[in-house]
Amino acid sequence: MVHDIVAPTVGESISEVRVSSWNYANGDYVTEGETLAEIESDKATVEVVAEHSGSLNIIVADGEMVPVGEKIATLDDSAEKPAGGAAPKAATSSSTTSSSTPTPTNMPPSPSASKMLKENNVSSSSVAGTGKRGQVTKTDVLDHLKKPKTIGRAADADIKPKDPEGVRRVPMSLLRLKIAERLKDAQNTAAILTTFNEVDLTNVMALRKEYKDKFKAKHDVGLGFMSFFTRAVTLALKEFEAVNASIDGTDILYNDHIHMGVAVGTDRGLVVPVLRNVENMTFLEIEKGILSMALKARDGKLGISDMSGGTFTISNGGVYGSMLSTPILNPPQSAILGMHNIMERPVNVNGKVEIRPMMYLAVSYDHRIIDGKGAVSFLIAIKNRLENPEELGLDFKKDL
């Protein structure tokens, strides 16, 4: 029996996805439960797992866009398993990704390519296919249609612009495209301004040093700086509600809850998983939440719900060594906190010069909704609580 494999649903608002990569070549035998491919949307990447064992027939090639629910491959369970089984394509030399040179094929164009060929009255034989086994993809048709019309010219390859030697052209991932779109939208829409301050982390570092081993031993999770910053920001947001609000047309939406986005860098790009209702979380719950989200981000397991609904974001460029930056808003949020590297520097303490662990803080905000006084006061509220951490409500101390 032949079983259809369709593009999975990855979110209510997403109607089209991209086949990021097939793990097996066309015709390979795969076993039930194995990961066949990765499907990419502009918000998340999901895996397609084989629900049956059998011979794989790929219909939609790597890099091809396809509507959600459309057939991308089939599995024939009547096929016999070959001796030794089949290796994933990443481990075989015959399964490298498509090159720019088309290869002969008997495969029909992909569904979206066929539709576009018909709409533009173009023969598939005139289009150079760069998909799996030379399959003509939607991208190939688009490239063909963009080429200038010529008379008496040779093959299409002769008129196709070539990149300079030593330059590799790689399509942007949907996630990267979405990041670019959102960040540019923030710059085009919001009146972004950034204010800076510095915080002395002497007392926070002393507290962490005193309790981190006990905390780790009891809860099997580390006591990091992020929980202190998250708690300080949460308390400051309660005090300055405009910083936790957003603009909707001519209205301001004030949030009675605090859903904290924590920016995480991954190989696929920047993602911002959200800790919900952090105003009700303990230090332990914050640390467990951050760890869980970081692991899911690293493994590409974040879902749409994990990254939706944030009201404020913290970005920690300090983990990469950044000393100072102006973070960009994460729409529709109205503010974002940038943390930076901790450096021991000489500072004036009660008229004396002392070496203290100092960090620069930056708050970028939408000046349409947040006044300069409010932004500066918000940042100082964070600074004061971090320099006097007993004000943070150190609930973890009573358990250790």
Active site (annotated) includes residue 340: no
- Integer Cα distance of 78 and 57 in angstroms: 13
Q: What is the pLDDT of residues 204-221, one digit of tens each?
A: 999 999 999 999 999 999
Q: What is the pLDDT of residues 139-175, one digit of tens each?
A: 778 778 876 554 444 444 444 567 888 888 887 777 7
Tell me which architecture the domain covering 1-97 has in CATH. Beta Barrel (2.40)
- For residue 397 the two structure tokens come to 């101390």
Q: What number does CATH give the domain 176-399? A: 3.30.559.10
Angle at the Cα of 130 from the Cα atoms of 128 and 135, rounded to 5 degrees: 85
Q: Where in the chain is the domain with CATH 3.30.559.10?
A: 176-399
Global pTM reads 0.65
Q: Where in the chain is the domain with CATH 4.10.320.10?
A: 98-171
Q: The tokens 């929980």 sit on which residue?
A: 227
The residue from 77, 185, 371, 399 that is catalytic is 371
Q: Where in the chain is the domain with CATH 2.40.50.100?
A: 1-97
Pick the CATH number of 98-171 from 3.40.50.620, 3.40.50.300, 4.10.320.10, 1.10.10.10: 4.10.320.10
Active site (annotated) includes residue 371: yes
Q: The tokens 């309660």 sit on which residue?
A: 238
Whether 330 shows a pLDDT value over 60: the answer reads yes
Helix (H) or strand (E) holding 3: strand 2-6
Indicate the average pLDDT of the chain.
85
- Integer Cα distance of 343 and 131 in angstroms: 51
State the pLDDT confidence band at 381, using cuts at 50, 70 and 90. very high
The predicted structure's pLDDT at residue 143: 78
The residue from 3, 77, 213, 367 that is catalytic is 367
